[in-house]
């Protein structure tokens, strides 16, 4: 996450300032002033991410479990994915969304924490890239590509990689 921090990204979501899941351990190189810890309010978090992006902030919005990204689908599908088309190109927010499919090994995180909705997102989003990170070697290059893209990206990490 250091490369995003060095580029001035704001990291918002759960476990960005306080421990609670494996994502927290990846935030060590990110200065605290670039982290905004939020309560569990996924739809609002996505709306905040879009608003911050529209105001010129670079945003990495963190949803520690893909299962709970579903709660933000209203903002994701109806706003982030469509706002450029709805505004005839006037508004074009870019958000990097970081989420994870929970691990089933060595401990199974349970049914509500291990869902993989990659194909659902790819089928339903037209203007957001959906990238599944299925190997440790793919993580860094995929984040660099997401930063270089002009459009939003959902990066899906696999819990087994931690």
Q: How many domains does the chain have?
A: 1
CB atoms within 10 A of CB 150: 6
**How does pLDDT run across 84-107, given as a tens digit for each residue?**
999 999 999 999 999 999 888 888
**How does pLDDT run across 119-129, given as a tens digit for each residue?**
999 999 999 99
Burial class of residue 56 in the structure, from the number of CB atoms within 10 Å of its CB (0-12 exposed, 13-18 middle, 19+ buried): exposed
Phi, psi angle pair for 128, to nearest 5° = -125, 130
Range of the domain at 41: 2-161
pTM higher than the cut 0.75: yes
CATH of the domain at 151: 3.40.50.970
Phi-psi region of 110 (alpha: psi -120 to 50; beta: other; left: phi over 0): left
């Amino acid at each position: 996450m250091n490369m995003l921090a060095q580029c001035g990204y704001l990291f918002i979501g759960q476990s960005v300032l306080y421990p609670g899941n494996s994502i927290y351990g990846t935030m060590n190189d990110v200065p605290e002033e670039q982290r905004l810890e939020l309560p569990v309010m996924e739809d609002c978090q996505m709306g905040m991410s879009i608003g911050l992006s529209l105001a010129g902030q670079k945003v990495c919005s963190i949803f520690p479990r893909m299962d709970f990204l579903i709660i933000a689908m209203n903002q994701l599908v109806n706003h982030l994915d469509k706002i450029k088309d709805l505004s005839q190109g006037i508004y074009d927010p870019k958000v990097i969304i970081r989420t994870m499919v929970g691990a089933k090994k060595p401990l199974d995180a349970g049914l509500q924490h291990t869902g993989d909705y990659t194909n659902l997102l790819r089928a339903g989003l037209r203007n957001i890239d959906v990238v599944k990170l299925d190997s440790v070697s793919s993580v860094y290059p995929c984040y660099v590509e997401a930063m270089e893209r002009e459009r939003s990206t959902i990066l899906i990490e696999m819990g087994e990689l931690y």
